[in-house]
Amino acid sequence: MFTGIITDIGRILDLERRGDLRARIGTRYDMAGVDIGASIACDGVCLTVIAKGTAPQGWFDIDISAETLAHTTIGVGGGWDVGKRINLERALKVGDELGGHIVSGHVDGMAEVLSITDEGDSTRLRFRAPDALAGFIAPKGSVALNGTSLTVNEVAGAEFGVNIIPHTKTVTTWGDVAAGDRVNLEIDTLARYVARLRDWSAAG
């Protein structure tokens, strides 16, 4: 589990095609405190640390399956390239502050960036969600976009908007995003279960 509060910006150091795609991620995390087998959310995708090191900088390796490549921005919409910056978050520990919302790291789909507009010091972004996910997104609700917990400002059909304050833009990769890009979208877990209960009640 994660909270959608980004704690580092990683950088893709290497990509290697094997049976799966293996990626090496540079990080400022103290890798001495990260166990092999630990989960790290990479642009919102929960991935498992399979190797790690500290020289010449902190780094960890992850394997990415064909399924994940097909349904996330790691393999779709331009995909990952060496040098790309990505949002990182380590898994939630018992007793940690829950500053965002509960995020599983299981991406539901991809949203398209429709527009980016400066509003004072903040930035307004509009997105189009896949039709199958649009009903789970509500005004003042939460979404995880590229692993970042964000509050939905408005919804119109499959389109929705969020506002990013300067601090968020500084400590995440949102300053790198452009109109037309696709981003990883995870809907709020609460919304998922409410919809499931509604459908179950209607069927009963």
In a domain, 113, yes or no: yes
Angle 165-166-170 (CA atoms, 0-180°, nearest 5)?
125
Tell whether 121 is covered by a domain. Answer: yes
Q: Which of 60, 90, 120 is the last residue of a domain?
A: 90
Number of domains in the chain: 2
Q: What is the extent of the structural domain holding 57?
A: 8-90
Are 99 and 5 in contact by the 8 Å Cβ rule? The answer is yes
Which of these three, 24, 56, 90, is where a domain ends?
90
The confidence score (pLDDT) of residue 198 equals 67
Place of tokens 């003042």: 140
User: Please, which residues have CB within 8 angstroms of residue 124's CB and are 6 or more apart in sequence?
Assistant: 115, 116, 117, 118, 153, 161, 162, 163, 164
CATH of the domain at 14: 2.40.30.20
Domain check: are 139 and 178 in the same one?
A: yes
122 inside domain? yes
| Separation between Cα atoms, residue 127 and residue 105, nearest integer Å | 20
pLDDT at 196: 61
What is the spatial distance between Cα 76 and Cα 70, in angstroms, rounded to a whole number? 6
Both 69 and 127 in one domain: the answer is: no
Shared domain for 21 and 77, answered yes or no, is yes
Do 132 and 81 share a structural domain? no
Model confidence, pTM? 0.92
Chunked mean pLDDT (size 10), the chain, 204 residues:
95 92 97 96 98 94 95 89 97 78 93 96 97 93 96 97 96 97 91 67 67
pLDDT value at residue 199: 67
